[in-house]
Chain A
Amino acid sequence: MVEKQVKVMLRTGLQARPAALFVQKANRFSSDIYLEKDGKKVNAKSIMGLMSLAVSNGAVVTLIVDGSDEQEAIKELTNYIQQEE
């Protein structure tokens, strides 16, 4: 299991479209992926759960990945939410 604190750099935060993209990326991995914010932990493969957190730009979230492809998963997802566009 790997865990990492990440600061969200996406300009709009995890708004609907970026959240959908994030979930799509997360679903490519077989590992269990969770995202935690303010003590609330949701399954990062489910869009509704992710959006219910209302993650804003600048927020610090924790990515928790557990499974066979955890290293690649955490790398790719971290890159995604740390990009500024």
Chain B
Amino acid sequence: MPKVRTRDIIEKFSLELISGEEGIDRPITTSDISRPGIEMAGYFDYYPAERIQLLGKTELSFFKQLDEDARITRVEKLCTDITPAIIITREMEVPKELIEASERKSVPVLRSPLKTTRFSSRLTNFLEGKLAPTTAVHGVLVDVYGIGVLITGKSGVGKSETALELVKRGHRLVADDCVEIRKEDQDILIGSAPELIEHLLEIRGLGIINVMTLFGAGAVRSHKRITLVIDLELWDPNKQYDRLGLDEEKVNIMDTEITKITVPVRPGRNLAVIIEVAAMNFRLKRMGVNAALQFTNRLSDAIEDGDHEDV
């Protein structure tokens, strides 16, 4: 199923539909936008037909100067079976040749009152967001002190229960059980909940609860950047857990490295507090204060001093 259709940008930017209504369900497959100036001049060898075509003042005033034959053939070539839309900016008058050609090929011709460059950048932003690569992971996403913490772990380890405790402590739930992740830019991962299960939390024994109606609008968020992954696992006595916090483990999600902390679960360990502290400690590290590093430096100083005293 296509992620964006021409219909969506008409709604989003309140564009005026001039002609070619049959084509408004065409898919938009790329966030690139084309300004077909060179094509207007007759050069169609590299015409990116699958992009949205934007016609501004320059293109249209040039088009007006052409003789009638050229006008007809060029708009004919401009309107292809895969062109999602041709958009006229600055509320300018649409050439009648374009209207005719677009009706024949069912390419939607739309109009916006905005200036071309401004509209182009807004459209690019919108399309990049919509067309960004996405994936879904099994886990719970909570905003803890402004840090997007993705809690992962096997089914039944207590992710949702921990999230509930965190919400009770004033943090915000983004998604339970299934987190949709969208990659923006090079290394920004934005997590959100699938629409159907937004604001819901499933607690064994209680069933499905609605966090927003129970705890209020302050207890939920629609999306949040993921910066920390906390993996809960049942305590394995044979495994070594990090005792110092000097090394940072990383996990790879959609080619992006995210810091990961493995927290063993055992009765009597308050996971919500541990996650709160992990989030605060992570913030502190990013501000340049690394408690573990400071301590080992002090320790090595003390050891060195001790060596000297011995001599």
* Alpha-carbon distance between A51 and B156 when the two chains are bound, in angstroms: 17
The verdict on A1 contacting chain B, using a C-beta distance below 8 Å, is no
- Partner-contacting stretch, out of A2-10, A35-43, A59-67, A68-76: A35-43
What is the interface size of chain A, counting residues whose CB is below 8 A from a CB of the partner?
A: 14
Nearest CB in chain A: distance from B130 CB, A: 15
Which residue from chain A places its CB closest to the CB of B160 in the assembled complex? A48
What string of 1s and 0s marks CB contacts (under 8 Å) between B176-194 and chain A?
A: 1110000000000000011
Q: CB within 8 A of B197: which of A38, A41, A43, A52? A: A52
> Which residues of A are found within 8 Å of B178, using beta-carbon distances?
42-43, 46, 48-49, 52
Chain B at the A interface: SS class: mixed
* Cross-chain contact of A40 among B136, B156, B197, B200 (Cβ < 8 A): B136
CA distance A43 to B178 in the complex (A): 8
Decide: B197 and A51 in contact? CB cutoff 8 A. yes
- Are the CB atoms of A48 and B176 closer together than 8 Å? yes
Contacts of A38 in B (CB 8 A): 1
Q: Are B200 and A43 in contact (CB under 8 A)?
A: no
Give the complex CA separation of A27 and B156 in angstroms: 9
Cα-based distance from A51 to B202 in the complex (angstroms): 12
**Distance between Cα atoms of A27 and B204 in the complex (Å):** 13
Q: How far is the CA of A40 from the CA of B3 in the complex (A)?
A: 13
- B155 pairs with A41, CB closer than 8 A: no
B227, chain A: closest CB distance, angstroms: 22
B287 within 8 Å of A by Cβ?
no
Least CB separation from A43: chain B residue: B138
Residue of A whose beta carbon sits closest to that of B159: A46
State whether B177 touches A47 (Cβ < 8 A). yes
Contacts of A27 in B (CB 8 A): 155-156
Q: Are A49 and B138 in contact (CB under 8 A)?
A: yes
Q: List 17 A-B contacts (CB under 8 A).
A: A27-B156, A38-B1, A40-B136, A45-B155, A46-B155, A46-B178, A48-B176, A48-B177, A48-B178, A48-B208, A49-B136, A49-B177, A51-B197, A52-B177, A52-B195, A52-B196, A54-B196
Closest 7 CB pairs between A and B?
A48-B177, A49-B178, A52-B194, A43-B138, A45-B155, A46-B177, A52-B197
